[in-house]
Structure 1
């Protein structure tokens, strides 16, 4: 199925079945709650997202026009639910580390809190964000804190042959395979080498407070640089395996299908959504006196710069603000627009990463070859009317 033949009904069905919450982060020093001045009147975008047809899955989205804090408050942070919301308590919760390990472990929340605490500012994005007409706010930035994962895996000691680590959540739901319906727990996996990355956290805090229930209380995985689906909420088990895990959210859903030409023949590739991609978005336009300012955010890689294009004009450099230089957190940017002509205008942004990568246009061949909505990181254009 190609984008031109993919029906809206199919997109809605996929959106309800599969969106997930969180992605990008880095172990660094303590994060600070930078504030961006937001004085002035917000000029609303003309192209508002369509009504959300799956509120049970996309529970909450970031409201771009309210964005005024570098750290997103939990009650404004996007929320995705694939299955139920588990009712876990600190008293009863335990985390098992097992499978192909020399020393299986069972840890309480107190055990994790007794270990070295690390904090990272990390921008989490759902891999389906901006891939559907009703889903444009699946991103947010928070300071996540908890116990580093790698030392625990090293203490458990992976046995020879262990190559994969599966992270199991407490949430579960029904999945149908042909004529068989099963109850499947949410789970995602990564290679043992990736799991041993020094930035991965077993997070129990968000912005200095205990994780809210909808964000995975009491503990979730935070995997820097990975899309939200990899950051498993309500974490209860970590399992080392000797084979690749092929559960629903690894091999069936969150899979990008891409058309490629090889030696004159069409080849279809299937890749599980994994690491975040470079992206930026205009957040809002504000009027201050007779002048206007455009503000936005860029994330997915260390940001070197952001450019903005008004209508069909030349690209103009924006000024980076809070978050500039961060490894895994978004950078805010602004552009003084001056006094634009009255009428409707389009505003497009594109980010450049520290390694020189440039956010692609929507018609970039690499993006155009996708037949699924995951990993849609093309340049974003918004429309506004100046009175």
Structure 2
């Protein structure tokens, strides 16, 4: 009877021991996962900032953005406000850190070590498990992000960029598996015995030092990660969405480079290195080819004034500008490659940041698209697409990609960020804007009313102005544009009969005779339409 009574006590002690070791193993697994994740994030940040290799977090973000609708995308931008890019990336980074930490538990379950362990070195099974875990993560990343792997922010050509990004993923995830395996073995309880050739006290001191080493590595990686994060923030493209507004209610025919409107998809814009950057001409052409920057500039080139307008430009807004661009036309470039093959229906433009635009080839050729390396007499500024960008008259700015690296002629449409989200993919809408007056005026004498109108290469045939909210209209005088692809300036002399409040309205008719629509719609997803109105008080 006494032996039977002793069993419950032994079983209870055994359960307590298993529970204690299970808890210690879980804590060690989470600690190892956290340290491995911090080291991985540090490597990830270093490769991004100094080798131009996109982080898994950015690859994930690029992949997810393509799956969103335009409405959802804009709502997300509004929700995060000024933090619309860094905010989601930060959340994804925290998510990656949490996932990497929790994966430590999966690793512990897979290796199923009997605690306490005797050896200080991981066994073969542990290394193989860590290697398998790393391999699975690498394969998942390559499969899920295959289209996104082509980007490199130093400007590597697409195939080389994809190879470099894959190498980066291998380095990051192998480092994760290595640190996870080593750190877990150091953190779990060890069996201390005199038979090992050293005293129990010495063995305890050794494990204490090992655990301290794991903690130091984790702390060091965390500090380095914070420093890299601060460097990332300092390079942040805070100028995204910059508008070009009239000065003293007057718009300059040519917008200075530092005032030209800017929109970018990137938290940090590319910084292409001419030593590695190349322009590739490939696909359905007579012969493919590759150019260095200097070779490209040897091609016959031309200068042309072209106006760019963002699809998010609403009535009266300043997301549009005009510059004189210099480069080689697409027609000339293709002529040097034996022209397009008969089966070529689309031209796909790819940028070093992974941005892709696909448009009907015939339309792009008729618009006389320009591949420009200069802007207003200077090398392209970095934010405007250095070393090369595309200008396609008649299309919104989003379809005039920057940081160009490949021209590919294909027989089918190729999706990209904006097209996948469902944004408008057609000729820009006719617009007109009142630049002056926009404020109160003293009554008495004539008032000069003026502004701009734009319809891409369709041109502007007529501009009309109303001072009574559109009840009656007056024809304005047009100034000859700098080129068929720029905005047109208009003016009209107003002789008000009395003081009071007035609503000025403008509308334009394009070169084909089609009048600007009065229908008001927002910018998402088809581009804004409607007349621009200005309320003016004459005192």
Same-fold call, TM > 0.5? yes
Give unmatched runs, 5+ long, in structure 2: 1-70, 86-236
Higher relative contact order (CA 8 A, sep 6+): 1
1:94-173 equivalences in 2 (<5 Å): 94-130=278-314, 136-157=317-338, 158-159=340-341, 161-171=343-353
In the alignment, the residues of structure 2 paired with residue 352 and residue 120 of structure 1 have an alpha-carbon distance, to the nearest angstrom, of 23
Which residue in the other structure is 1:264 paired with? none
CA separation of 1:340/1:168 partners in 2, compared to 1, >3 Å: closer, same or farther?
Answer: farther
Which residue in the other structure is 1:218 paired with? 387
CA separation of 1:385/1:170 partners in 2, compared to 1, >3 Å: closer, same or farther?
Answer: farther
Task: Provide Cα deviations, 1:315-371, integer angstroms capped at 9, x if missing partner.
Answer: 1111212528x42211111122235644432211011123211111135xxx6xx89
In the alignment, the residues of structure 2 paired with residue 9 and residue 298 of structure 1 have an alpha-carbon distance, to the nearest angstrom, of 30
In the alignment, the residues of structure 1 paired with residue 477 and residue 437 of structure 2 have an alpha-carbon distance, to the nearest angstrom, of 15
Match of 1:299 among 421, 444, 454: 454
1:254-273 equivalences in 2 (<5 Å): 255-256=423-424, 273=425
In the alignment, the residues of structure 1 paired with residue 484 and residue 379 of structure 2 have an alpha-carbon distance, to the nearest angstrom, of 24
CA separation of 1:293/1:81 partners in 2, compared to 1, >3 Å: closer, same or farther?
Answer: same
Which residue in the other structure is 2:359 paired with? 190
CA separation of 1:341/1:211 partners in 2, compared to 1, >3 Å: closer, same or farther?
Answer: farther
CA separation of 1:373/1:290 partners in 2, compared to 1, >3 Å: closer, same or farther?
Answer: farther
Q: SS of the counterpart of 2:536?
A: strand
Which residue in the other structure is 1:36 paired with? none
In the alignment, the residues of structure 2 paired with residue 230 and residue 75 of structure 1 have an alpha-carbon distance, to the nearest angstrom, of 21
- 1:125 deviates by 0.6
Which residue in the other structure is 1:382 paired with? 534
CA separation of 1:323/1:87 partners in 2, compared to 1, >3 Å: closer, same or farther?
Answer: same
Larger radius of gyration: 2
Are 2:279 and 2:406, in contact at CA under 8 Å, matched by a contact in 1? yes
Task: Provide Cα deviations, 1:5-44, integer angstroms capped at 9, x if missing partner.
Answer: 9999568369968xxxxxxxxxxxxxxxxxxxxxxxxxxx
Does 2:514 align with 1:357?
yes
CA separation of 1:99/1:348 partners in 2, compared to 1, >3 Å: closer, same or farther?
Answer: same
In the alignment, the residues of structure 1 paired with residue 379 and residue 344 of structure 2 have an alpha-carbon distance, to the nearest angstrom, of 33
Are 2:302 and 2:327, in contact at CA under 8 Å, matched by a contact in 1? yes
Q: SS of the counterpart of 1:120?
A: strand
Match of 2:474 among 310, 316, 320: 316
Does 2:428 align with 1:276?
yes
- 1:198 deviates by 6.3
| Structure (1/2) with the larger helix percentage | 2
CA separation of 1:8/1:345 partners in 2, compared to 1, >3 Å: closer, same or farther?
Answer: farther
Which residue in the other structure is 1:86 paired with? 270
Root-mean-square deviation (CA, aligned residues, Å) is 3.2
CA separation of 1:210/1:242 partners in 2, compared to 1, >3 Å: closer, same or farther?
Answer: same
Are 1:101 and 1:156, in contact at CA under 8 Å, matched by a contact in 2? yes
Does 2:484 align with 1:327?
yes
Which deviates further from its counterpart, 274-283 or 238-247?
A: 238-247
Task: Provide Cα deviations, 1:72-116, integer angstroms capped at 9, x if missing partner.
Answer: 112221100111311124444211112344422111222222111
Does 2:503 align with 1:346?
yes
- 1:378 deviates by 1.8
